[in-house]
Chain A
Amino acid sequence: MKELIEYIAKSLVDDPSSVEVAEVEGASAIILELRVAPEDMGRVIGRGGRVANAMRTLLRVVAAKQGKRASLEIIE
């Protein structure tokens, strides 16, 4: 799941070297924390959060297949 988000984020930003994804094991779900360069925030969020939501949709599908729950947080 980490690789998935990393791959998508790196393909969308201007500065792929600043992309970092951390996998945090939460109480009921895995939390993926995505960090990008400040000027790339818009690219991973998208208009109306469309890009972030698309990533969340894919994450949900992958997690469900593994019988897990996962959420994505974009960290400022």
Chain B
Amino acid sequence: MDDQARSIEVEGEDVEAAVAAGLDQLGVSRDHVEIEVLREESRGMLGIGAREALVRLTVTTPERDLADTGAEAESVLVSERELGLSDTPEDALALARDVLAELLEKMEVEAEIQSRISEPQYAGDSPTLVLDLLGEDLGYLIGRKGETLAAIQHLVRLMVNKAFHRRSHIVVDIGGYKARRENTLRKLALRMADQAARRNRTVALEPMSAYERRIIHVALRDHPTVATESVGERDRRKVTIFPRPQSS
């Protein structure tokens, strides 16, 4: 598009009227033009020497940003990103990292954050965003029965999901504590499943948190001969492993 074509000179009774007429002619709003007053109106004396005002309007905003369909489509995309509707796991991970860093700073905790996206074990599951804290003497951040770590994770999750308007699965770990625990639980699950199958009876595990129970359920989701179920209330809730009813 030729820029010259987007600059016009307009006359009017006064400056204001000339500008209004020019905007009308261009079909744009005042925000999209640069206004130069080339000549102020003058009343003259007794109608002699009266002159109309002359202004030059130059369109400053590129054509695609004007109120046409292209601009609409673009602004929708922008607001989608602002709303987090088009975010990727990488975006969510970056935000989670920032939120956690800010939280730690306000808690006066010095730690390095290692972040990664852990691919789901099963296709269709959403990936897990893992934030691992590394540093000296961070044990107190785990807390009794992992209580403090759970609080940090819960708040980071809520804060990130609030900003993104969608649910991300976020795990906050300290020095691989949970990763090791998870490994131990998976091995335990397989050993107990084996026992349940061999003895053909139900095996009950120790009471565990929802997070730990989930690890057991997931570990045995595709097991050929046993199934799992959680029983009991509140902090007594535990996983039971029992032989799957065989059809043959």
A interface residues (Cβ-Cβ under 8 A, vs B): 3-4, 7-8, 11-12, 46, 50-51, 53-55, 57-58, 61-62, 65
| CB closest residue in chain B, given A66 | B108
**Chain B residues bordering chain A, tally (CB within 8 A):** 20
| CB closest residue in chain B, given A54 | B151
Against A, the Cβ 8 Å flags (1 = close, 0 = not) of B95-126 are 00001001100111000000000000000000
Closest CB-CB distance, B170 to chain A, in whole Å?
14
Q: What are the 8 A-B residue pairs with the smallest beta carbon separation, nearest first?
A: A54-B151, A57-B151, A4-B106, A11-B159, A54-B154, A3-B106, A62-B107, A54-B155
Against A, the Cβ 8 Å flags (1 = close, 0 = not) of B157-195 are 011001100000000000000000000000000000000
Against A, the Cβ 8 Å flags (1 = close, 0 = not) of B129-143 are 000000000001101
Distance, CA A57 to CA B150, complexed state (A)? 10
In the complex, which residues of chain B have a beta carbon less than 8 angstroms from the beta carbon of A54? 150-152, 154-155
In the complex, which residues of chain A have a beta carbon less than 8 angstroms from the beta carbon of B29? none
Distance, CA A57 to CA B152, complexed state (A)? 9
Closest CB-CB distance, A2 to chain B, in whole Å?
9
Given A7-B106, A61-B107, A51–B158 Cβ distance below 8 Å?
Answer: yes
Closest CB-CB distance, B16 to chain A, in whole Å?
37
Given A4-B103, A57-B143, A65–B155 Cβ distance below 8 Å?
Answer: no
Q: Evaluate contact between A61 and B99: CB separation under 8 angstroms.
A: no
In the complex, which residues of chain B have a beta carbon less than 8 angstroms from the beta carbon of A12? 158-159, 162
Q: Evaluate contact between B152 and A58: CB separation under 8 angstroms.
A: yes
In the complex, which residues of chain A have a beta carbon less than 8 angstroms from the beta carbon of B151? 53-55, 57-58
Given A7-B102, A11-B162, A11-B163, A58–B155 Cβ distance below 8 Å?
Answer: yes
